[in-house]
Amino acid sequence: MLAWTSKSSTELPVKARLNRWLSDAAGKPVWFALSMLPFVWLIYAAVTDHLGPNPAEALVRSTGDWAMRALCLVLAVTPVRILSGVTALAKYRRMAGLFMYFYAVLHLLAYSWFDMGFDVPDIAKDIAKRPFILVGFSALVLLTPLALTSFNRAIKALGAKRWQQLHRLVYAVAGLAVLHFFWMRAGKNNFAEVALYAAILGTLLGWRIKRVMQK
């Protein structure tokens, strides 16, 4: 009992400090700057020829990788907030979601530019012909209404319940994203990263399912 009390007393100030720092006005600008770093690095690497022997492929894959990482971050915010008691993390979920959409759009633009030369009819044919591109495009389509309704005015217009129901589409997005990633890497028999992302997203979604069933 004494050990438990001592442990709690040492952890509480840490939570308080984290909540205070995350609630500070400077917190969001720092989060924004950190979220922009991958984009800035990719621009710098492209300009200075640091993207390797195939810069176009590197840009397409890197933007997709960062969209996937942002998706994991978005789904991790709520479990980490609840399990850690750092409630101020909730303020950052919206920005994380918007950056997920930002990198997903960049992924589509990179593919459309470098692979297809912005030829819209060819892009449409390619999406319909290749399942892994169709799945990835479908995930982006589902993400679009989530990004467009991520603001307070949209929440008020839809109502909290309908807004929450709409934003549960992120779970479908997670499944489609993993499938897209799996099919993309299947051609080279490279499944290590796919397994990692699938495990992370599966754990986060499993946590949510368990929480709903316990209510």
Q: What percent of the chain has pLDDT over 70?
A: 94
- Total domain count, the chain: 1
Each residue's pLDDT tens digit, 167-188: 999 999 999 999 999 998 877 7
Torsion of CA 167, 172, 176, 181, to 10 degrees: 70
Pairwise CA distance, residues 199 & 174, whole Å = 12
Side chain identity at 122, as an amino acid letter?
A: D
Contact yes or no for 137/160 (Cβ under 8 A) = no
CB atoms within 10 A of CB 210: 9
Evaluate if residue 20 carries a pLDDT over 90.
no
CB atoms within 10 A of CB 127: 18
- What's the predicted TM-score (pTM) here? 0.90
Supply the pLDDT for residue 89. Answer: 93
Supply the pLDDT for residue 87. Answer: 92
Grade residue 9 by pLDDT with cuts at 50, 70 and 90: very low
Supply the pLDDT for residue 212. Answer: 77
Return the structure tokens found at 23.
């609630």
Name every residue whose Cβ is closer than 8 Å to that of residue 133 and which is 6 or more positions away in sequence. Answer: 111, 126, 127, 180
Grade residue 1 by pLDDT with cuts at 50, 70 and 90: very low
Contact yes or no for 192/165 (Cβ under 8 A) = no
Instruction: Provide the mean pLDDT of the chain.
Output: 90
Contact yes or no for 31/92 (Cβ under 8 A) = yes
Each residue's pLDDT tens digit, 41-91: 999 999 999 999 999 999 999 999 999 999 999 999 999 999 999 999 999
Return the structure tokens found at 175.
């499944």
Evaluate if residue 215 carries a pLDDT over 90.
no
Return the structure tokens found at 201.
């997203």
Evaluate if residue 201 carries a pLDDT over 80.
yes
Q: Which residue range is the domain that position 74 belongs to?
A: 2-214
Pairwise CA distance, residues 151 & 154, whole Å = 5
Evaluate if residue 133 carries a pLDDT over 60.
yes
Contact yes or no for 65/196 (Cβ under 8 A) = no
